[in-house]
Structure 1
Amino acid sequence: MSNFLNSIFKVPSTLRLISPLRYHNVIQAQNLFTTTSLGIDGYVQSRKKTKEQFGDLADKFRVKMTEFVDSPKNMIFTEDLKNMTHIAEPTDIELVLKMIKKFNTQKTEFRFGSFVFGPILMRMFHFLDAPKEALTCFLDPDNKGFFDQLMSFQILLDLLYTHQMYDEMFEVFEIIQKKQVNMTKYPKYVVVLMLAACYKLNTPKSFQYATQMWSEMISTGIQPVRRSTTFMAGLALNQHAPHIALESLSQQKPHYITIRNIKAMALADMDRIDDALPILRGVLEVDRPDQQGKHTFFEETLKRVKDGVARVNDKHLTNEFEKIEKALRDRNLVDQQTLDQLLTSDITLVINQNKQGMPRMPYNRRQNKHTSVIP
């Protein structure tokens, strides 16, 4: 299977996986994961409670922390950093950065707790919309190990994605791969974000990057989640490689709207109209007027198939397509939404947060160091 994929993707074995991808005029981006999925909603609630507890004393606390970070005699305790993280405003970011560095480098023999700050701090940076500061903090050698959690990676990459900082995403991903937190080189939601960046860039170089990453994952037995698959396939379509788009979808269930639309587009682009039409017809066979969720096709999908029909110039296929198109429209099964809109729409995940800011998992799974902390 891996040899077949390598032959399909045709990726040079000498290609360096992580390389600068500097391009301009990229499309406006938005958050890929919802604030709920990243735990930011929970952070906001904790922030509200902390600010209520401090009341008018917040400014005095800031002054005290400013004195502490500059004094070698004073320590920054866990509770200090927790409180500052939850009352921080944009003007406090420099102070927070100093507190993090001091907290992470000071002697730890008096630190008895195991509070994990990484995800909460990244939620703070995300909430304050501070991508450059988040990246600086992550890359600082003095903070080594402080953000070694999959959720921290995910939040940081989502923040960089939002600001179209794609070069920086690739830099962070290289570090993530070297760390191999939870014994994985390709965390599933990190991969989603990286393929989203490649899709947004939509260049031959980003496509080459994505295909090598994809080939390496498949060859090591990793099954990407559906959104990763559709980003990969969508990028392949945009880069005029429908054969790669089609192969990328091979392990996905065909009833998902993105999967069937991409399949129909890829087959049409390859002039395999006799294979594309059954996919369109299949919706008519399963759709019922009384069902709530309709099986639709995008307007752009029908146009793509129609263009393919015109290229093939077969009278029988032309007649068949016209019948199917009419039936789809009569049943209101043509969606004006675009593939791009659906691909880049928000992803919602359900997570549970404990008091340490980390997703909670069953006790027996916590004993397995190979288990990802992301649900």
Structure 2
Amino acid sequence: MYDIEQDKIYYKNHIESPKRLFLYESLNLDSFRENRKFAFDRTKSFKQKFIDIISQNIKNEDYIVYEADIKTFIHLLENQNDVNILILIMDRYLRQVNNMYQFNFGPIIMRSLHHINLPNEAIEIYKKLTRVFDNFASLMIFFDLLYKNKQFDDMLNLFLYKDINKNSSRLISAICGSNLEQNLSKNTETMIDVIFSSNFQYIPRRAIIFLFKFALNHQNFNLMQRLSTYDNPRIMKQDQVVNFKILTILEIEPVEKVFIYIQNIIDNLDQYDIGTIQVYSDVMQHLQIKSYLDGKESTEKLEKIKPYITCLPETFGQILTTPIEYIREKRIKTNQNQNKSLVDILNNLQKNENHVPGFCFENVSRNETFKEAKLKSVKTGTTIVGIIFKGGIILGADTRATNGPIVADKNCEKIHYISDYIYCCGAGTAADAEMTTELISSKMQLMQLTWKKKPYVSAACRQIRQELFKHMGYISAAFILGGVDNKGSHLYRISPHGSVCNMQFAAMG
């Protein structure tokens, strides 16, 4: 049975936990939760029977596996036994379609395993059905699941297991950013070779910072030497990377090399889009001592570049000893505080709704700000909306028909009559929308004469989507169809190619 309280706890823990690789929304787990709840509600009276029938039939070589059954079964996964059955189902399905499948099952399988938190089962199914997960979306969810459970060695082994894209920045970042050196020590050289073999293409800042930090903390001079030659404008403009590289060069090279490196940044300040070079106080002190010991010439060079350097009050040693997870947790708490302040603002606005009647000048300062900012006018097109309420449906649309930057018609009719209790809003090419709705209105009248009763809203929706799909996008119009029949109120959002969403509210343009 679907446990909504357990689902809420999972959602809350995943949102608040700093130990995750990707944002919750980017993995599309919230949408999966809704689909999973729907699958449980739909099969609550026969769920176990459905699983038993599939597990029995899969033993029969003549049994045909359908995509719809696989999707439902994936949403019902709960334990190791269900995963074993899923492996058999997917293996049969892949042989059945000769590996020429159209629907991508990889992400949805990984979302289900992520939701019920089965990392070891995810590794097993990945190794047995690798071709199903040959896409970056599946790997995102898979590695996030392993990262959440601190299985860092498994992440590195799987990264080297098959032909995963070695330039996948977030996956490399997952391996490097774990910040658990005791787990990575035996695989460090392998990890470094993988990153350097990619020529630093698409390597994220978090991975580069980890390598600098690892080299300095462990006095790994070989890695320092390799990092000192690294130069990438996208990364090198970052303050922490700049400070790491200065320290690294000071450890293994003459101080003259530091001046060459800093001068290169100064010459490209416009390219890096930064005002000055941010250097931490202890790094600056280290540079001054090295310059003094090197002689008068180095001291003079340091004085020349000082106007381009901003000395920060913080010490870089704190960053060298601070775990990355603590920094991420602190950043998340800061974001939560920002959200709280936003809630306070909204609450204050709600309190001010019951204001005393009279003149209101609260927008004067806002308007003056807009005037000083010289905001450009925003190009707008058609806007159509619809919403269902208890007693029926409300449809709305603007009345302007445009021809590029010109308003061709200030009073264009965009809410079209379909039948007595069915209307349709059209956006796009005005002529296409009008001719299509007139055609559908005529068909609805013929249906009413044939059936001897008022047509259903779903019938009008089907006629519109068939007409749009038949022309494969050449009818340049999108619709919001709303109406009331003996089954209740209905609202449909129909895109130009014929796809449909049944919603409680909709907006298009």
Please report the TM-score for the alignment, with normalisation by the length of structure 1.
Answer: 0.60
Q: Does 1:232 align with 2:211?
A: yes
Alpha carbons of structure 1 residues 229 and 145: separation in structure 2 relative to 1, 3 Å? same
Change (3 A) 1:50 1:194: closer
SS at match of 1:328: strand
- Which runs of structure 2 are paired with 1:256-335 in the superposition (5 Å)? 256-270=238-252, 272-273=254-255, 276=258, 279=262, 297=278, 301-307=280-286, 309-310=288-289, 314=293, 328-329=311-312
Q: Aligned partner of 2:194: which letter?
A: M
Q: CA deviation at 1:130?
A: 1.8
Following the alignment from structure 1 to structure 2, what is the Cα–Cα distance between the partners of residues 171 and 318? 49
Residue aligning to 1:31: 20
Long gaps (5+) in structure 1: 1-27, 288-292, 347-375
Separation in 2 of the partners of 1:83 and 1:120?
A: 11
Alpha-carbon deviation of 1:112?
A: 8.8
The residue aligned with 1:217 is 198
One-letter code of the match for 1:269? E
Alignment of 1:130 onto 2:118: yes
How many angstroms apart in 1 are the aligned matches of 2:124 and 2:157?
Answer: 12
**2:152–2:183 CA contact under 8 A, matched in 1:** no
Identify if the C-alpha distance between structure 1 residues 307 and 202 changes in structure 2 by more than 3 Å, giving closer, same or farther.
farther
Q: Kindly state the Cα deviation for residue 82 of structure 1 after the two structures are TM-superposed.
A: 1.6
The corresponding residue for 2:324 is: 341
2:150 equivalent in structure 1: 164
Equivalent residues of 1:249, 1:259 under 8 A apart: no
The answer on 1:153 being equivalent to 2:128 is no
* Offset of residue 205 of structure 1: 4.1
Q: Is 1:105 paired with 2:92? A: yes
Structure 1 position 55 matched with structure 2 position 35 = no
Structure 1 distance, partners of 2:110, 2:237, is: 36
Cα deviations by residue, 1:34-55 (Å, 9 ceiling, x for unpaired): 2333x2xx23223314413642
Corresponding residue number in structure 1 for 2:74: 85
Separation in 2, partners of 1:110, 1:213: 34
Q: 2:172 aligns with which of 191, 206, 211?
A: 191
Deviations 1:172-218 (A, max 9, x none): 123223xx6xxx55444333333445874586643322332234323
C-alpha separation in 1, matches of 2:213 and 2:45: 50
Kept after mapping to 1: 8 A contact 2:110/2:138: yes
Alignment-mate amino acid for residue 201 of structure 2: Q
Matched, 1:65 2:55: no
Structure 2 CA distance for partners of 1:296 and 1:76, relative to 1, 3 Å: farther
Larger fraction in strand? 2
Provide the rounded CA distance (Å) in 2 between the counterparts of 1:202 and 1:135.
Answer: 19
* Aligned mates of 1:100, 1:217 — CA distance in 2: 34
Which amino acid letter does the alignment assign opposite residue 223 of structure 1? Q
Q: Is the 8 A contact 1:198 1:206 kept in 2?
A: no
Find the counterpart in structure 2 of residue 18 from structure 1. Answer: none
Q: Percent identity?
A: 17
Report the CA distance shift for 1:165/1:333 in structure 2 as closer, same or farther (over 3 A). Answer: closer
Rounded Cα–Cα distance in structure 2 between residues aligned with 1:215 and 1:120: 33
Residues 322-351 of structure 1: CA distance to partner in whole angstroms, max 9, x if unpaired? x8899635xx787898365399859xxxxx
1:145 counterpart SS class: helix
- The match for 2:31 is 45
Closer, same or farther: CA 333–80 of 1 in aligned 2, 3 Å: same
**Contact 1:207–1:239 under 8 Å retained in 2:** no
What is the rounded CA distance, in whole Å, between the counterparts of 1:65 and 1:268 in structure 2? 64
In the alignment, the residues of structure 2 paired with residue 295 and residue 137 of structure 1 have an alpha-carbon distance, to the nearest angstrom, of 51
Contact 1:131-1:159 at 8 Å conserved across structures: yes
Instruction: Report the CA distance shift for 1:78/1:268 in structure 2 as closer, same or farther (over 3 A).
Output: same
Q: 2:188 is matched with which residue?
A: 207
Give deviations 1:196-249, integer Å, cap 9, x for gaps. 45874586643322332234323xxx7243334444333333332332222234
- Return closer, same or farther for 1:75/1:43 CA change in 2, 3 Å cut-off: farther
Whole-Å separation in 2 of the counterparts to 1:100 and 1:135: 12
The one-letter code sitting in structure 2 at the alignment partner of 1:264 is I
Q: Tell me, what secondary structure is at the counterpart of 1:175?
A: coil
Aligned to 1:243: 225
SS of 2:192's equivalent?
helix
For structure 2, the residue ranges without an aligned partner over 5 or more in a row are 1-16, 330-509
Q: Name the CA shift for 1:121/1:258 in 2 (closer, same or farther; >3 Å).
A: farther
- Once the two structures are TM-superposed, the CA of residue 154 in structure 1 deviates from its matched residue by 3.3
Q: Aligned to 2:43, what secondary structure does the other structure show?
A: helix
Q: Does 1:254 align with 2:241?
A: no
Rate the CA distance shift 1:203–1:43 in 2: closer, same or farther, 3 A. Answer: closer
Structure 1 residues 312 and 60, CA, compared in 2 at 3 Å: closer, same or farther?
A: same
CA distance in 2, matches of 1:297, 1:169: 34
Q: Distance in 1 between matches of 2:36 and 2:227?
A: 49
Larger Rg: 2
- TM-score, normalization: structure 2? 0.47
